[in-house]
Every structure is written in structure tokens, then in C-alpha cells.
Structure 1
Amino acid sequence: MKRTAMELAALATAAVPGLTPAGVASIPDEPEDFDSAMIVDDANQRWRVRAPRHEEASMRLERELTVLHAFSPAVRAELPFLIPSVVGTIRQGALRTFVYNHVQGTHYDLDGMAILGESTAIQLGRALAAVHGLPDDVAERGDFPSYSAEEFRQRRLNELDQAAMTGKIPVTLLRRWEHALEDVNLWRFNPTLVHGDLHEESFLINDSRVVAISGWTDVHVGDPADDFAWLQACQDSAFVTSVMDAYVAERGEHADPHLSRRAALAAEFALAQWLSRSIASGDEESITEAQHMLEDLDKDIREFGGQPISVIEQPQMPAHSPTVSVLEDDDAASVSDETSSIAVVPVGDADVAADEEDSESVAESEPESEPESEDDSEESPVTISNEDSSEISVEEDEADPEASEPANAKDSDQR
């Protein structure tokens, strides 16, 4: 359900008693999930309204309310940025709209952040380090979902299997992601509290300083690399390096040496997750867009190699994705003739040919001997002289004439 800015203002007046809007404007948000607006009241105070478009988005806002309650005043005071507070809610059917106090600041896209320079990069790195350094009792108080490193890796593997079943993801990407997920060295990290839904619109910046972080709908204990996935789209490598350096400096010995690799993997894999969600919801437009983005990613990785996402180097991939075709009987026989050095001989002829070859080889390599006895079913005794170990005599029984009848018969037939 899409709502206009005026409709959101009306909902805000119902959610917050005494609120009298004097002005309203739409603001950026996740377009598939939320409608948002900024309201200015008659006292020149600002309020943010966020309304879900469907039930799943409404549940995310409900979870955010739990998260914000878990951030006690003491925890908020320790953070280098502000966290919004919910000042009122109103429910319409299954959907619940939330009103937040406004924090002064500006939203920037990635290019805009990079233009702000190194000071903003350092601020971002320190802000993320503060999130990942929140005490364990915050997660316990909020009863957030919690995953160990191995549990997190297994969840990703399960998601990869589901994505592969769609049949819409290039084979190169599937193999690349599978190789990274099976590289156990990559997944040795200490789980931390993670924001879980960071992107450019999550940050409010004022004078190159991060003043607030919003959108706490997917908080959990898991892989800190997920909070850096949004940064991988930045074209300014120096800016990204400055963010990571500031983060490592703040985290110290708790810093993860493979954080950047898993962040790059998370950024790529997000496309597969988006495709799976779009297929589940039947959104054909999003399915097509996701497929095109996956194809572009596949092309870039084939041409330029992509960002490293594994500790152990992946085996070299072929220049083009392999194709599988079904051959007709005649084509299959032709391919077999070209690629196989084994001659196919009818069974009867093969027996005769084998007998002839055996007869010729025996005649050339062995002297004529008496036929073996039918009773000689055990190995012939071998006697080694005690005086000279090199003297070996083999005792053979006389052959039974009946044992040679099949061979004599065949010789008679050939004559």
C-alpha cells in the first residue's frame, strides 16, 4: 500500500497527540518496503514518519521498536552518534505506522560521501566499530537472533542452494560463491552485534560527521562483514580504504583480517537473495532486473576477475559457461568414433580373434608341451634345491587327453 506525504502527515497527527503539521515532504527510503516523509510542525520541530507497504515490512518496524528499547540511555550515551526514538505509532489493519523524532543531518549517496573526503571516511569507520563493539547484554536484553560463525556460513550455503534451484544464476557465480563458502579459513570470525540493513540512507551526516544511524530493523548477532556490503559499490578505493583503516584502528585486536573479502561476497550474494525474494513474491519486474544485474556481474568477473572473496585461490574458470546438449544416436556414435580409441568388435568375432591371438602368442613364446592333466587342479609343485637356489625344477603330471579335446576340435573346424 503506497501512501502520499499528505496521507503520512495525517497518520502522524493521529499517532502523536498535539502534533500540528505545518509542512511535509517525502524523503528517501527503501521503495519496495516503506513510504517516508518529513513533517515540520507549528513549533518548527521536525518528525519522521515511516509507513510499511506490506506485512513483512511492518514486522521489521516492530522488531526495530524492540531494538530501540534495548538501547538504554547508558548505551546511547556511549555511542558517537544518535539513535532515533519512537514517539508514536498508529495501526491500520495489519500495518503499523511509526513516528520518530528527527535528527538534523543530510543523506548522501556513496559518491557524495566520497567527495566529502577522508574525514567522513574516518567517521564512518569509527561509527561501525562502535556498533560492533556494543556490549553483549544489549543483544540479550533485546533477545536478538544470534548465529555463530559456522551457523552463519551454513545459512549462507542453504541460501545458495535455494538460489541455484531457480536456474537463473550464471554457473560462474554459483561456483565462485560456493568456493568462498567452503573456504573455512574465511569464516573464522568473532560474531558481533550487527546493524544488518546498512546503506547510504542509513547515515545522517552533518559537517562531514556522522550524527545518526537509522533503520535498525534487522539487528542480530552475526558476521560484522555484512555491515560493509553497501560500501563495496563505491568507486573511490581510497575512500573505502580509509573507512576500513579507521575501523581496524578502533577495533584493535578484535579486527577481522578477512572482513573485506566477506563484505565483497555479501555484496555479490545480495543479488541472488534479491532474486530469490522476487521469485517468491512473483515480482516479474524485479526478477528481470535482478537477472540483468547478475549477468552484468558475471561478465565483469570474467573480464576483470572481480574482488577477492576467498582466502584460498579459486581454480581458473573457463572463458565461457559450459553448455550441456543432448545428442541423437547417430551424433553420439560419431562423437564416440572420434574421441575413443577402442574398437568395437562383435562378441562372436571377438572370441575367435582372441583365441587366434592367444594361439599365436603361445606358439611364439612357449615350446610345445604335453597337455595338462585334468586332475591337475592345484598348482604344480616347485622344488628349490638346497645346494643351489638357482636350480629350479617343475614337476608336471601327464596331461589327460580329454583336456585337449576342445582345442583339437576348434583346430579341426578351422582346417
Structure 2
Amino acid sequence: MRTTPELLAAVAAAAVPGVAPVATGPSPDDAADFRSCVVQDSEGRRWRVRSPLNTEASMRLETEHLVLQAFTPSVRSRLPFHLPTVAGSVAQDGLRTFVYSHLPGHTLSLREFQRQNEHPEPPVHAPSPSATPRAPLAVQLGRSLGCLHSLPRALVMDADLPAYSAEQCRKRMLHDLDQAATTGLIPGDLLRRWEEALEDTTLWQFSTRVVHGDLHEDNITVDHGSLASFTGWSDLHVGDPAVDFSWLVGMSDPAFADTVLEAYSVAAVQPPDRHLLRRAHLKAEFALAEWLVRGVDRGITSMVDNAQRMLATLAADVRASASPSPGVAGPPPVPPAPPASAASPAPPASPAPPASPASTASAAASGADRTGDSADDSVDRADSDGRTLDGGSAPDGHPSDGGSAPDGHPSDDGLSPGHHSGEGGSSAASGSVTPTS
């Protein structure tokens, strides 16, 4: 059965007493697993609705609910960002749809993260002259990750969520590598590259942390230059902190990740291990193999073909950069010798170094693994006379500009055209809204 925004609005009304929907807006999500929308009620309140499309997705939402319950008010008060709250749920055909309270802010693409880090949006209200200047976004991210990774392990273990040692993290990834190899669709040089990194035990000597597990730009909301919230909590566990850094590899400017790590080092209870970013590069590259395996398991030919193309691009980037291992740069390019016949030749310009292989992989996986809702979920907003005010479509999440996630998010001045956060993937309501009938 097709899940429409109008149906999701009806679910919100059934799940949360007192909600009378008057408008809906698209909410980007993993279209292979969920249908989502933002609902505005008659009192101007906003709600995020996520409906699973299969049993696995439903279990992820159930786990997410369990995680959010573990974040008690006292725990939440220790974090410098907001977390969603489940307002209600409705079960239908064995699958449970969840409704979440609205959180301020909107999501940013990787490119927008970098731009706002250098040129942040001004705050809504001008700060007092004595107020401490607001830190750049990269610093705010580092501090937030440091606080998250410093939470006690008991928070996860008491909720009966997974907890892995460093060696278990390595062996789990080795198992996933073996599973990927059985498809016969991954370039052999990439398999060898990843296996060598996994066999290098010096990379896997670290202290495990409480980690988000699915952190990326679509699960982070920003409100006028300030980091507002982390969403998408279905993969919380104790494990490798590098998991929460792998999406940063997609930044075109490596200084952004370095700044995040520097701020993280100050905020975290324990300093990061020296190989954290190398493992983050490995995980960013390997995300393409995981995407391919997911497509094979589900029998989705388009996913498999897309993953194969991105893996071929990654293999070409690795060869071009001569990178011996994830997170390790290859030798610098040698500039060509000046022509012998030139009397006073100008020094030749050195060719630009190739992009980091993991940067290409992370940006591509960012678009591929988090496809937004289809265009038919975008709707128009009409005024009281029925005249269309805005039009638009929801972001589709497909890679652009070399595989990077789409940018150009509109402002957050309400359902149209702003972004509204909830639980799970991107909670931004972009594009336009339509009155419910």
C-alpha cells in the first residue's frame, strides 16, 4: 500500500492526542526503508512521522525508541545538543509508525557545512557584548562528539544494546569484508587494500566509546549557525569512535576534520588514539562495499549497479593517488622537467594532488545510502484562497558534483520552505507544504 503524506498525517492524529493536522511537508529519509513527512497541526506545532516499509526498518525504529528512553533528562542535560522525543506510535500490519516531537534547525550538505563553518549564519537574536563568541561549526561538532563519546558505557549496556571491544570491531569488519568478497563484484585491489588495513593490528589498539553509530550530515541539524541536534539513534552502541568520524572524510577541505578532532580532544574525557582518522578513512571507503552487499541481499539491481560504478571510481582514485592505505597519502606528484630549449622558462605549475580516495567514497556513499523521499512526496502550499505559494520537491539524496550530497537547503522559517528535524535520518522539511484535506 502506498504511504502518502496524508496517510501519515492521519497516523500522527491517531498517535498523539490533540493533534489536528492542517499541512504536511516532505522529510528526506532512506527511501528504501522509510516513508517520512513533517506534519503541522492547527496549533502550529510540528511533528515528524516515520513509517517503516519492511520488518527490518520497523525493528530499527523500535530500537531507536529504546535508545531514546535510555537518554533520561539528566543524561540529556549533559549533552550540548538536543535529542528527539517519541510522542506516540501506531501499529499497522505488524509494522509500527512513530511520531516525534519537532526540533529546531535544518540539515546541511557537506559543502554547506564547510561554508557555514567559515561564514556562519547570524543568530536570531544579537548576543550581548559580554557573551562568549560562538565557536565555528567544526569546533561545535568536535565538542558534541567529545561529550557523546564520554558518556558512561552503562548507558548502553543497561539498555541491552551492543557493546564491542576493539578486537571485536576489527573481526566484525573482517566478517563483512568476507561477505562483500563473496559477491565477486568488488575490485580485487580494493579488497586487498582493506584486508591489509584490517590485518594491521596497530590500527586497532584503541579504547571503545559510546558512539552514535550512524552519524552523517543528514542526522545533524543546525539552527542559525549553532549545532542544534543529533538524530537517527537506532545504531547506538559501544564501539570504535572512528565510526562517528567517517562522514567527515567526505569534506573537500581536510582541515575541517582536523579542527573537529582538535576540539574533540579537548572535550572528551580520554584523548583520541592516533589512528582514529585512518580508521575513519577505511570505514568511509568500505561503506561502498556495504552498500553493494545491501543491494545484492535485497535484489535491487539499481543499487548494485550504482555501487559498482562508485567502487570502480574509488579504485581509479586509489591508483591515481598511489595511496598505500586508507588515510595515508601517496607520494607527491613530480612536476615535469622544463623544456631544454627554453632560455628562461617559468617554473611549471605543480599539478593539483588527487582527491583523497576516501573523500570520494564518503561523498558518494553519503548520497547513495541516504536517498531522500521520491518527488511525489513534495507538495504545494496554498493560501486560504487555494493559490499556490511555493512549489518544489524533496531532495532526492542522489550524489551530485562527484557524489556529494545535495546542498542549497532553504531557510528554516517554517514548513515552507524550512527544515524540521525529527528522529532518524534527515528531519528537514524542505521544499513546500500542502494543506491536508
TM-score bracket, shorter-length normalisation: 0.7 to 0.9
Aligned partner of 1:212 in structure 2 is 229
1:158 corresponds to which letter in structure 2? Answer: H
CA distance in 1, matches of 2:113, 2:327: 28
Which residue is equivalent to 2:376?
A: none
Q: For residue 211 of structure 2, what is the aligned residue in structure 1?
A: 194
- Taking a change above 3 Å as real, the CA distance of residues 310 and 3 of structure 1, as seen in their structure-2 partners, is same
Name 2:132's counterpart in structure 1.
Answer: none
Q: Cα offset for 1:10?
A: 1.1
The equivalent residue for 1:236 is 253
> How far apart are residue 307 of structure 1 and its match?
8.4
In structure 2, C-alpha distance between the alignment counterparts of 1:96 and 1:20, rounded to whole Å: 20
Counterpart residue number, 1:177: 194
Do the aligned partners of 1:60 and 1:217 also contact (CA within 8 Å) in 2? yes
C-alpha displacement of 1:202:
0.6
CA contact (8 A) 2:249 2:281 kept: yes
Q: Tell me the SS of whatever aligns to 2:158.
A: helix
CA distance in 2, matches of 1:155, 1:74: 33
Q: 1:46 corresponds to which letter in structure 2?
A: R
Aligned to 1:85: 85
| Counterpart in the other structure of 2:37 | 37
Q: Find the aligned partners of 1:125 and 1:312 in 2 and give their Cα distance.
A: 24
Deviation by residue 1:356-375 (Cα, 9 ceiling, x = unmatched): xxxxxxxxxxxxxxxxxxxx
| Alignment length (residue pairs) | 313
Asked if 1:246 corresponds to 2:263, the answer is yes
Partner of 1:140: 157
SS at match of 1:277: helix
Q: What secondary structure, in the 3-state scheme, does the structure 2 residue paired with 1:142 have?
A: coil
Distance in 1, Cα, partners of 2:324 & 2:270? 25
Tell me by how many angstroms 1:141 deviates.
2.1
Q: Partner residue of 2:10?
A: 10
**Among residues 303, 306, 316, which one is paired with 1:299 in the alignment?**
316
Aligned counterparts of 1:201 and 1:267: Cα–Cα separation in 2 = 16
Residues 68 and 238 (structure 1 numbering): CA distance in 2 closer, same or farther, change over 3 Å? same
Residues 1:222 and 2:239 are matched in the alignment: yes
Deviation of 1:89 after TM superposition, in Å, equals 0.2
The answer to whether the 8 Å contact 1:183/1:310 transfers is no
Residues 39-79 of structure 1: CA deviation (Å, up to 9, x unaligned)? 11111111111111211111000000110111111100110
- 1:9 shift after superposition: 0.7
CA contact 2:197–2:325 (8 Å) conserved in 1: no
Unaligned residue ranges in structure 1 (runs of 5+): 314-415
Q: Distance in 1 between matches of 2:88 and 2:296?
A: 35
Question: Quick one: distance in 2 between partners of 1:2 and 1:266?
Answer: 35
Q: CA deviation at 1:311?
A: 8.1
SS of 1:205's equivalent in the other structure is strand
Which whole-Å CA distance do the structure 2 matches of 1:306 and 1:12 have between them? Answer: 50
- Alignment-mate amino acid for residue 11 of structure 1: V
One-letter amino acid matched to 1:65: H
User: Residues 183-217 of structure 1: CA distance to partner in whole angstroms, max 9, x if unpaired?
Assistant: 00000011111111111111110121111111101
Match of 1:72 in 2: 72
- Structure 1 residues 263-304: Cα deviation after superposition (integer angstroms, max 9, x where no partner): 000011111111112111111110110111100000000001
Alpha-carbon distance in 2 for matches of 1:310, 1:203: 24
**Aligned mates of 2:95, 2:244 — CA distance in 1:** 28
Instruction: Judge conservation of contact 2:64–2:233 (CA < 8 Å) in 1.
Output: yes
- Which residue number corresponds to residue 27 of structure 1? 27
**1:155 alignment partner in structure 2:** 172
Residue 308 of structure 1 deviates from its aligned partner by 4.6
Q: Is the 8 A contact 1:39 1:46 kept in 2?
A: yes
- Aligned partners of 2:29 and 2:36 also within 8 Å: yes
Equivalent position of 2:293 in the other structure: 276
* Larger RCO of the pair (alpha carbons < 8 Å, separation 6+): 2
Residue 111 of structure 1 deviates from its aligned partner by 0.5
- 1:6 shift after superposition: 1.5
| CA contact 1:149–1:191 (8 Å) conserved in 2 | yes
Instruction: Answer yes or no: is the 8 Å Cα contact 1:185–1:311 preserved in 2.
Output: no
Cα deviation, 1:244-277, whole Å, max 9, x if unaligned, reads 2211222264312111000000011111111112
Partner of 1:352: none
Whole-angstrom distance in 2 between the partners of 1:122 and 1:167? 42
C-alpha contact (below 8 Å) 2:321/2:329 kept by paired residues = no
Structure 1 residue matching 2:229: 3-state secondary structure? strand
2: CA distance, partners of 1:36 / 1:256: 38
Task: Give CA deviations for 1:95-126 in whole Å, capped at 9, x if unaligned.
Answer: 11000010111111111111001501111111
1:2 positional shift: 5.0
Question: Between Structure 1 and Structure 2, whose CA radius of gyration is higher?
Answer: 1
Query: 1:3 Cα deviation (Å)?
Result: 2.0
Structure 1 residue 168 corresponds to structure 2 residue 148: no
* Residue identity opposite 1:242 in structure 2: T
TM-fit CA distance, 1:312: 12
Q: Deviations over 1:127-168 (max 9, x none)?
A: 111111111221122111111000110111111111111111
> C-alpha distance in 2, partners of 1:312/1:205?
32
Larger helix proportion, structure 1 or 2? 1
What's the secondary structure of 2:50's corresponding residue? strand
Contact 2:281 2:327 in 1 (8 A): no
Q: Partners of 1:202 and 1:256 in 2: how far apart?
A: 25
Letter in 2 for 1:300: D
**2: CA distance, partners of 1:75 / 1:50:** 25
- CA distance in 1 between partners of 2:220 and 2:259 (Å): 17
Change (3 A) 1:42 1:307: farther
- In structure 2, the CA distance between the partners of 1:184 and 1:248, relative to structure 1 (3 Å rule), is same
State whether residues 106 and 206 of structure 1, in contact with CA within 8 Å, keep that contact through their aligned partners in structure 2.
yes
Distance in 1 separating the partners of 2:28 and 2:183: 31
Could you say if the C-alpha distance between residues 155 and 133 of structure 1 is closer, same or farther in structure 2, counting changes exceeding 3 Å?
same
TM-score, L = length of structure 2: 0.69
